[in-house]
Amino acid sequence: MTQQSNQRLLALDVMRGITIAGMIMVNNPGSWGSIYAPLGHASWNGLTPTDLVFPFFMFIMGISTYISLRKFNFEFSKPTLFKILKRTAVIFLIGLGLGWFSLSLRTFNKLSVEELGFMDRFIQSVTNFENLRILGVMQRLALTYGITSLIAIFVKHKYIPYIILITLVGYFLLLLFGNGFEFSENNIVSVVDRAILGANHMYVDSGVVLDPEGLLSTIPAVAHVLIGFYCGKILLDTKDNNEKIQQLFIIGTILMFAGFLLSYGCPINKKIWSPTYVLATCGLASLLLALLIWIIDIKGYKRWSVFFQSFGVNPLFIFVAAGVFAILMGNISFAYDGADITIKTFIYKICLQPYLGDYFGSLIFALLFVGFNWVIGNVLYKKQIYIKI
This prediction's pTM: 0.93
The predicted-structure confidence for 371-384, as pLDDT tens digits, reads as follows 999 999 999 999 88
For residue 8, what pLDDT is reported? Answer: 59
CA nearest neighbour of 211 among 224, 198, 225, 226 = 198
* Whole-angstrom distance, CA of residue 220 vs CA of residue 171: 7
Angle between helices 118-126 and 78-110 (to 10 degrees): 140
How many residues are listed for the chain in this entry? 389
| Digitized pLDDT (tens) for each residue of the chain, 389 residues in all | 444 433 457 899 999 999 999 999 999 999 999 999 999 999 999 999 999 999 999 999 999 999 999 999 999 999 999 999 999 999 999 999 999 999 999 999 998 878 788 898 999 999 999 999 999 999 999 999 999 999 999 999 999 999 999 999 999 999 999 999 999 999 999 999 999 999 999 999 989 999 999 999 999 999 999 999 999 998 888 888 889 999 999 999 999 999 999 999 999 999 999 999 999 999 999 999 999 999 998 888 988 998 999 999 999 999 999 999 999 999 998 888 878 899 999 999 999 999 999 999 999 999 999 999 999 999 999 988 888 88
For residue 98, what pLDDT is reported? Answer: 97
Query: Are the CB atoms for 223 and 163 separated by under 8 Å?
Result: yes
* Whole-angstrom distance, CA of residue 372 vs CA of residue 16: 18
For residue 2, what pLDDT is reported? Answer: 40
Domain ranges for the chain: 1-40+301-389, 57-228+238-284
Phi first, then psi, for residue 205 (nearest 5°) are -115, 110
For residue 62, what pLDDT is reported? Answer: 97
> Environment class of residue 386 by beta-carbon count within 10 Å: exposed (0-12), middle (13-18) or buried (19+)?
middle
Query: Are the CB atoms for 293 and 243 separated by under 8 Å?
Result: no
For residue 206, what pLDDT is reported? Answer: 87
CA nearest neighbour of 205 among 269, 141, 140 = 269
SS3 labels along 73-123: CCCCCHHHHHHHHHHHHHHHHHHHHHHHHHHHHHHHHHHHHCCCCHHHHHH
How many CA atoms within 13 Å lie on the side-chain side of 95? Answer: 19
For residue 181, what pLDDT is reported? Answer: 96
* Whole-angstrom distance, CA of residue 7 vs CA of residue 315: 17
pLDDT-above-90 percentage for the chain? 84
The predicted-structure confidence for 243-294, as pLDDT tens digits, reads as follows 999 999 999 999 999 999 999 999 999 999 999 999 999 999 999 999 999 9
For residue 183, what pLDDT is reported? Answer: 95
